[in-house]
Amino acid sequence: MVVALTGCGPHSKPISAPQTPPTLQPTPKIVETPAQAATPPEPSPDAQAPQQPADPNDCNPFIAPLSRTGGSLTVHAPPRKSERSFGSRMRSHVDGSLSAGSPRVWVGPQVPGFVPLLEGTAELFLLRHESDGSFVAFYRDPYGASSCDLSGNDNCKYVATLFAHCGEVMWSIGLGGLLSRPDQLEIQDIQLEGDTLYFNEACQSYSKDAKGKCSALVAVDPVANKVLWRSKPLVSNGVFFISGDYIVAGYGFTAERDTLSIVRRSDGRVMGRQRLPKAPQDIRLLEPGVVEVEVYPGDTTYLFRMVGWETKSPKLVKPE
């Protein structure tokens, strides 16, 4: 939700290739000016009336320091490009090991100055610029920071915050209390669609370690801080995408059944499944009506047509 930890073995907690950030300008250098005289000069009779204050909505959210650090994460403006040559199922905007004290660098979209890099010990991990101009920031604890360890099974601390276009905090919630159990789970992807926040509570490792009770999709009302629905387990342990009334998600792991699922957004019901030869690593809309699924280890992709997507019987069909 990296240089370390990829693949599909036990305690494989990988990091996906970041979304392509927009080309944005860094904050100009601020030059301090001397203070004005205490007594301003008398205005001339011909002086115009003072201008009205600027519209508070007329702001540039991409103003940010050229470089700042929070915890072990460093964020530059403009951001650095990812050095990873591989993809992986966890969506992230961070390069580097997930262990506390290991240096990490931001490789996602430019981070506005009003978005903090830390929520307690949790570091900024993912940032989405929504179509209405708002920003969804997702934070997670590094291993060994406070809540979780790489060698343990406790869930890490996760926080999601929605910032308005000019920085007002619309809501902020800790996700730990919304997970179905305190251990064996990790969030691999999180997305806001309308007023609903969707994320998966993926198995940390083999599903048998959690007795099969992991990798469900979860829909949350972030304002009320409550779960709207939770899908069946073993539906999503990687990135997913939302299209219309449905979510396309994948599940797979070493020596486990690899599948692609259609989940209804209104209630979390699984409407259909497709078997895959290997674990899905990335799922994306290739073109209107066509889903491309990349499977582990990233050298093979499969295409599916989205059939009946405007009906109550959606299907993913392999092209002839």
**What does the domain layout of the chain look like in residue ranges?**
67-317
pTM for the structure as a whole? 0.81
Percent of the chain with pLDDT over 70: 80
Select from 311, 302, 289 the least CA-distant residue to 259.
Answer: 302
Helix-then-strand count for the chain, H and E: 0, 22
Coil vs helix vs strand at 263: strand
pLDDT surpasses 70 at 46: no
Residues 80-131: pLDDT tens digits? 998 765 556 789 999 999 999 999 999 999 999 999 999 999 999 999 999 9
Lowest-pLDDT range of 77-86, 242-251, 262-271, 289-298: 77-86
CB 138 within 8 A of CB 158: yes
The topology (CATH level 3) of 67-317 is Lipocalin (2.40.128)
3 state SS of 209: helix
Q: Angle 41-47-52 (CA atoms, 0-180°, nearest 5)? A: 95
Order of strands, sheet of 122-129, starting from the edge strand that comes earlier in the sequence? 118-119, 122-129, 135-140, 158-163, 169-174
pLDDT over threshold 90, residue 275: yes
The torsion angles phi and psi of 210, rounded to 5 degrees, stand at: -105, 15
* C-alpha radius of gyration, the chain, whole number: 22
Least confident of 11-15, 134-138, 253-257: 11-15
Angle formed at CA 72 by CA 67 and CA 73, multiple of 5 degrees: 45
Q: How far is CA 292 from CA 301, 313, 316, in A?
A: 7, 20, 11
Measure the CA–CA gap between 142 and 82, rounded to whole angstroms.
Answer: 19
